[in-house]
Amino acid sequence: MIKLNLKTSIAGKDFEHPIFNASGPKCITREELEEIGVSRSAGIMAKSCTIKPRDGNPSPRHFDFCGGAIGSYGLPNLGYKKYLEIFPQLKSYCKPIIASVSGMSIEENQTIISEFSKVSEIDLIELNISCPNIIGKPQVGYDFDYSKKMIAEIGKVCKKPLGLKLPPYFDFAHFNTMAKIINNSKVSFVTCINSVGNGLYVDFENECTVIKPKKGFGGVGGIIKPFGLANVRKFRELLRDDINIVGVGGIFTGKDVFEYLLCGADAVQIGTAFMQSNTQIFEKLLLEFKQVIQDKEYTRLSQFKNKLKEI
């Protein structure tokens, strides 16, 4: 059998293959992070953290529907100090460790990121500027002036490769504005897309909302793949070549993984599909992805990455 080389890298960090977990589901506690460590996930990504521990929004705060899910968890996490203790304990899994940061202000993000910068076991830092579920806080990624300031101020203290978790953009003018900001910054990778914020799912039978926070409005995952692919494709066209792209949104099969790479992603993250199953999902996706590559008679990612044809 022909040997496949699935290796990829993000900001100079090597990944054995391009599939790992998204910040969000089942990556809050040490036990959950250890489970990801023993799984076939190519990296260990943690839940976005804040200065203080948070319980998050009231329940029910998650609802699965056909093809996707809606949720408004409200950043439940252990607080960054706990992750300073946990990350070094994950090194034995020998895969990249990615911290996600979602402080409530520039200052909070600076505090967390300066401390994370001192932890040698952390490989990459993803700054989340797109959380849609904090009551009373708009998504930073839709405020371009504030995003520019945030990125510049974080760049001053971050000593690790810095990534940005972006919200989905829907207008080419907005892609252009954000790409210009990123191209003129120290950001070395982007992750797109976060859940499509403020969706509303209706329980037809009972004529009511399905989640409690924010009067039923929440981030939608799963059925968002066309937007995820579009954001990856557009940012690949607009960003500097040395800025890596991690695709996320609606990946349930190996074919989905392939499509993201075809659109220009260097790696992918798994959110809703992981939420709806368990760590076996990484093995399943990896096997399916390998099969797709073999069927198409490729042997390494560079043969099809960013090679989507236009008709």
Among 130, 188, 244, 269, binds ligand DHB (CB under 6 A): 130
CB of 221 to ligand DHB, least distance (A): 8
Question: Which residues, 6 or more positions from 174, have their beta carbon under 8 angstroms from its beta carbon?
Answer: 144
Query: Is residue 72 part of the contact set for ligand DHB (CB under 6 A)?
Result: yes
Query: Is residue 194 part of the contact set for ligand DHB (CB under 6 A)?
Result: yes
Cα–Cα distances in Å, from 140 out to 3, 53, 113, 165? 44, 21, 17, 11
Query: Is residue 39 part of the contact set for ligand DHB (CB under 6 A)?
Result: no
| Residue closer to ligand DHB (CB basis): 39 or 195 | 195
Among 131, 229, 243, 267, binds ligand DHB (CB under 6 A): 131
Stretch that binds ligand DHB, among 128-136, 234-242, 280-288, 301-309 (CB under 6 A): 128-136
Cβ count within 10 A of residue 155: 14
Stretch that binds ligand DHB, among 71-79, 177-185, 249-257, 289-297 (CB under 6 A): 71-79
HEC letters along the chain: CCCCECCEEECCEEECCCEEECCCCCCCCHHHHHHHHHCCCCCEECCCECCCCECCCCCCCEEEECCEEEECCCCCECCHHHHHHHHHHHHHHCCCEEEEECCCCHHHHHHHHHHHHCCCCCCEEEEECCCCCCCCCCCHHHCHHHHHHHHHHHHHHCCCCEEEECCCCCCHHHHHHHHHHHHCCCCCEEEECCCEEEEECEECCCCEECCCHHHHEEEEECCCHHHHHHHHHHHHHHCCCCCEEEEECCCCCHHHHHHHHHCCCCEEEECHHHHCCCCHHHHHHHHHHHHHHHHCCCCEHHHCCCCCCCC
| Residue closer to ligand DHB (CB basis): 21 or 72 | 72
Restricted to residues 45-64, the positions that interact with ligand DHB (CB under 6 A) are 48, 56
Among 41, 109, 128, 209, binds ligand DHB (CB under 6 A): 128
Stretch that binds ligand DHB, among 7-15, 68-76, 234-242, 291-299 (CB under 6 A): 68-76
Name the residues annotated as catalytic.
130-131
Give the dihedral of Cα atoms 63, 64, 65, 67; nearest 10 deg.
Answer: 140
Among 22, 46, 75, 251, binds ligand DHB (CB under 6 A): 75
Stretch that binds ligand DHB, among 4-12, 70-78, 173-181, 231-239 (CB under 6 A): 70-78
Query: Is residue 269 part of the contact set for ligand DHB (CB under 6 A)?
Result: no
CB of 87 to ligand DHB, least distance (A): 19
| Residue closer to ligand DHB (CB basis): 8 or 194 | 194
267 DSSP β-pair partners: 246
Restricted to residues 91-120, the positions that interact with ligand DHB (CB under 6 A) are 102
Query: Is residue 248 part of the contact set for ligand DHB (CB under 6 A)?
Result: no
Binding mask 152-191 for ligand DHB (x = CB under 6 A): ----------------------------------------
Site residues, ligand DHB (CB under 6 A): 48, 56, 72-75, 102, 128, 130-133, 194-195, 219
